[in-house]
């Protein structure tokens, strides 16, 4: 007598896909929770926070941190990504306010400096790269943030120059000024963190706008 056997079947594709999707959602949620814990630990312990302190804040072990975020450079990248989303969201909202380009740029500068004032240790952590990352590297997270902020400013300036009859200069001036403003604001933010006599966000924003006002108005600085 021959006994017929059915071929062994693996998990159904739909079931496997469903499990994969749920696991991916779990990993994404857990990663987000760990990044939030890292941000809290940075605020509490400063930019030099260690993995032990972050793990304690998250109520877990360093092994779990390494599993979800990788090494210190991986943690750094995840934190920068979260900060990137916040900065760009705030700047995007600020860029919509105001009747003219100077008011809109002023709102963006104020938003950026307010974030530095509100979260100085987070800012220090982001700007203090781990050894595994290098300033100027195309994959440098800080470089990506500043580039995206510069692109927002460049677009606003380009539109302004075109609308005010300076379209022939817009392609040259807009990116140079956009990147230049970001450099100026970053230097101002660094001054915020190191100067013993701090300047208010309002005053710093005013100073930046007064410097760029003649250029955007088509005036020659006196």
Specify the CATH number for the domain of residue 95. Answer: 1.10.357.10
Question: Do 66 and 76 reside in the same domain of the chain?
Answer: no
Neighbour-count burial of 123, counting CB atoms closer than 10 A to its CB (0-12 exposed, 13-18 middle, 19+ buried): buried
Question: Do 60 and 117 reside in the same domain of the chain?
Answer: no
Q: How many domains does the chain have?
A: 2
Half-sphere exposure of 220 (CA within 13 A, CB side): 1
pLDDT of residue 4: 46
Average pLDDT over residues 30-56: 91
Does any domain span residue 10?
no
Percent of the chain with pLDDT over 70: 82
Of how many residues is the chain composed?
222
- Is the four-CA dihedral 179, 182, 183, 184 of positive or negative sign? positive
Residue 117 CA to residue 128 CA, distance in Å, equals 17
Does any domain span residue 199?
yes
Does any domain span residue 200?
yes
User: Would you tell me the crossing angle of helices 167-194 and 141-163 to the nearest 10 degrees?
Assistant: 140
Q: Domain ends where: 7, 37, 70?
A: 70
Question: Do 48 and 157 reside in the same domain of the chain?
Answer: no
Question: Do 78 and 157 reside in the same domain of the chain?
Answer: yes
Question: Do 139 and 98 reside in the same domain of the chain?
Answer: yes
**In contact, 69 and 75? CB cutoff 8 Å:** yes
Question: Do 65 and 158 reside in the same domain of the chain?
Answer: no
CATH number of the domain to which 45 belongs: 1.10.10
Domain that holds residue 50: 16-70
Which pLDDT band holds residue 143 (cuts at 50, 70, 90)? confident
> Is pLDDT at 135 greater than 80 in this prediction?
no
pLDDT of residue 67: 87
pLDDT of residue 66: 87
Question: Do 191 and 219 reside in the same domain of the chain?
Answer: yes
3-state SS track over the chain: CCCCCCCCCCCCHHHHHHHHHHHHHHHHHHHHHHHHHHHHHHHHHCCCCCHHHHHHHHCCCHHHHHHHHCCHHHHHHHHHHHHHHHHHHHHHHHCCCCCCHHHHHHHHHHHHHHHHHHCHHHHHHHHCCCCCCCCCCCCCHHHHHHHHHHHHHHHHHHHHHHHCCCHHHHHHHHHHHHHHHHHHHHHHHHHHHHCCCCCCHHHHHHHHHHHHHHHHCCCCCC
Question: Do 42 and 124 reside in the same domain of the chain?
Answer: no
pLDDT of residue 5: 45
Please state, rounded to an integer, the average pLDDT across all residues of the chain.
82
pLDDT of residue 28: 78
Does any domain span residue 9?
no
Average pLDDT over residues 96-113: 87
Question: Do 199 and 125 reside in the same domain of the chain?
Answer: yes
Average pLDDT over residues 132-160: 79
Question: Do 51 and 153 reside in the same domain of the chain?
Answer: no
Does any domain span residue 92?
yes
Question: Do 76 and 39 reside in the same domain of the chain?
Answer: no
Average pLDDT over residues 167-190: 93
Q: Domain ends where: 28, 52, 70?
A: 70
> Is pLDDT at 190 greater than 90 in this prediction?
no
Look at 6 and 103; give whichever has higher pLDDT.
103
Question: Do 54 and 126 reside in the same domain of the chain?
Answer: no
> Is pLDDT at 206 greater than 50 in this prediction?
yes
Does any domain span residue 11?
no
Look at 195 and 131; give whichever has higher pLDDT.
195
């Amino acid at each position: 007598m021959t006994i017929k056997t059915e071929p062994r079947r693996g998990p159904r594709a739909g079931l496997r896909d469903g499990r994969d999707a749920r696991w991916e959602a779990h990993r994404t949620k857990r990663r987000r929770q760990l990044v939030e814990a890292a941000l809290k630990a940075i605020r509490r312990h400063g930019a030099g926070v260690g993995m032990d302190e972050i793990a304690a804040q998250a109520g877990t072990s360093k092994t779990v941190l390494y599993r979800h975020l990788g090494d210190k450079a991986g943690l750094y990248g995840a934190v920068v990504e979260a900060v990137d989303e916040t900065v760009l969201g705030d700047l995007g909202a600020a860029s919509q306010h105001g009747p003219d380009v100077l008011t809109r740029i002023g709102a963006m500068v104020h938003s950026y400096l307010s974030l530095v004032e509100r979260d100085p240790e987070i800012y220090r952590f982001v700007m203090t790269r781990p050894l595994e990352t290098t300033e100027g590297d195309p994959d440098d997270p800080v470089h990506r943030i500043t580039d995206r902020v510069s692109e927002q400013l460049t677009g606003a300036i380009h539109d302004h120059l075109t609308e005010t009859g300076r379209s022939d200069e817009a392609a040259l001036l807009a990116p140079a000024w956009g990147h230049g403003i970001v450099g100026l604001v970053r230097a101002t933010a660094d001054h915020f963190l190191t100067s013993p006599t701090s300047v208010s966000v309002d005053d710093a924003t005013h100073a930046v706008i007064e410097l760029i006002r003649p250029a955007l108005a088509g005036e020659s600085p006196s």
